């Protein structure tokens, strides 16, 4: 990502102009295509990090950007999403019968375009405010919730004649929260920059994250959110970035110590719906078990028609994880065979499989009910 500094300001401004222009064309097309649909939900609001960022970081001063090729190579152009194509929430929107959700900071996100949802996710963001600060600017989860509050007050209220109608609209909308990975890879597992691992043990840190997240979810609830989807963190010990740091041959295929830390967080996150459904009247929560699904894709890639499960399609060094995808770098040609696009993120085909199994009628990776059931309620 530091190589982005090599671009001249003129080139970066030209690139941003092109991305904005293509966003205007593409998201306008998506909204036109969805007008005759009968969506499962009125709107889809997304909170999270680079796994679901649809381009917000294009508009802030940060090293955590993906607004250059080969990112977006299979989408048609780089949107700012950290993928070769669609992300898991892009497919989630499609399953809901909604258009692709535009980034909150995009010029596209004005007027009636906001009525079907907005994406507030920001690469390098975490549950904790300090997470990812070494990348520069990013919108933390607290900041994203503040943006959602501003959306309600300044952009949504004018479309509703009375507060009751607005409350009903928000209650029928889907709120997706996919965050927590950076609190490990860009905080707890980076002891040279952050002190969290020196202060907390693995269990205590997971408790801190869940306690903080619970308060943030309560804040969303107080703003009117009722149907919320909590995505578990994936097996970070299996991503190329972490594999590249392991000395010698990694016989297990993943870094067990890191995956154990993530499991401590996920087990507590899975229990949250039981607590929140009782303490926040009228709320509906589901937990998406991304960990087990993605781990199965890594361990048994052939089940999904995949071949390469431990190497990035676009990256450098061991496993393609020592250096993430660089501007204009030549990626692998057989991207549909790879689990990982870059050092940290899944390929479009992997996202498609994840979405198919979580944003669906299946309860295998969704607890306590399916995403489809949540949307229909």
Active-site amino acid positions: 50, 342, 345
Asked if 179 contacts 126 with a C-beta cutoff of 8 angstroms, the reply is yes
Q: Is the dihedral of CA 70, 53, 4, 58 positive or negative?
A: positive
Of 245, 151, 239, 233, whose CA–CA distance to 190 is shortest? 245
Give whole-number Cα distances, 269 to 49, 88, 152, 321, 345, in Å. Answer: 17, 19, 27, 28, 21
Gap between the Cα atoms of 90 and 42, Å rounded: 16
β-bridge mates for residue 338, sequence order: 308
Q: What are phi and psi of 73, to 5 degrees?
A: -60, -35
> 40, 97 in Cβ contact below 8 A?
yes
d(Cα 131, Cα 18) in Å, to the nearest integer?
30
Which of 321, 263, 258, 251 lies closest to 292, judged by CA?
263
Helix, strand or coil, per DSSP, at residue 136? strand
Partners of 176 in beta bridges? 46, 229
Question: CA of 27: how far to CAs of 10, 106, 110, 118, 233, in Å?
Answer: 26, 11, 12, 12, 28
- Bridge partners of residue 230, in order along the sequence: 177, 287
Count other Cβ atoms within 10 Å, centred on residue 305. Answer: 10
**Contact (CB, 8 A) for 241 and 324:** yes
């Amino acid at each position: 990502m530091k190589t982005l500094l090599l671009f001249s300001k003129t080139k970066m401004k030209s690139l941003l102009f092109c991305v904005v222009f293509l966003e205007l064309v593409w998201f306008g097309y998506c909204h036109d295509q969805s007008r005759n649909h009968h969506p499962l939900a009125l709107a889809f609001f997304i909170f999270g990090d680079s796994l679901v960022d649809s381009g917000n970081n294009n508009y802030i001063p940060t090293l955590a950007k993906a607004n250059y090729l080969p990112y977006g190579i299979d989408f048609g152009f780089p949107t700012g999403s950290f993928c070769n194509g669609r992300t898991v929430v892009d497919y989630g929107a499609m399953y809901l019968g909604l258009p692709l959700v535009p980034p909150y900071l995009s010029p596209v996100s004005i007027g009636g375009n906001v009525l079907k949802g907005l994406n507030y996710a920001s690469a390098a963001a975490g549950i904790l405010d300090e997470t990812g600060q070494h990348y520069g600017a990013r919108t933390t989860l607290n900041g994203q919730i503040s943006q959602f509050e501003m959306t309600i007050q300044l952009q949504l209220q004018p479309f509703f004649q009375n507060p009751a109608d607005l409350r009903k609209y928000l209650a029928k909308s889907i709120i997706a929260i996919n965050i927590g990975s950076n609190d490990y890879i860009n905080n707890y597992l980076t002891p040279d920059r952050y002190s969290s691992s020196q202060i907390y043990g693995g269990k205590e840190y997971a408790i801190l994250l869940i306690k903080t997240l619970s308060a943030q979810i309560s804040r969303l609830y107080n703003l009117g959110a009722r149907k919320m989807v909590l995505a578990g963190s994936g097996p970070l010990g299996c991503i190329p970035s972490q594999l590249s740091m392991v000395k010698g041959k990694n016989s297990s295929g993943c870094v067990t110590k890191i995956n154990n830390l993530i499991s401590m967080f996920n087990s507590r996150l899975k229990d949250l719906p039981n607590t929140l459904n009782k303490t926040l009247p009228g709320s509906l929560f589901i937990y998406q078990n991304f960990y087990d699904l993605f781990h199965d894709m890594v361990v048994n890639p052939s089940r999904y028609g995949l071949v390469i499960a431990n190497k990035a399609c676009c990256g450098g060094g061991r496993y393609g994880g020592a250096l993430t995808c660089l501007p204009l770098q030549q990626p692998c040609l057989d991207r549909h065979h790879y689990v990982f696009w870059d050092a940290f993120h899944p390929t479009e085909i992997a996202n498609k499989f994840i979405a198919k199994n979580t944003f669906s009628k299946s309860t295998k990776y969704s607890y306590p009910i399916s995403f489809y059931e949540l949307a229909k309620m």
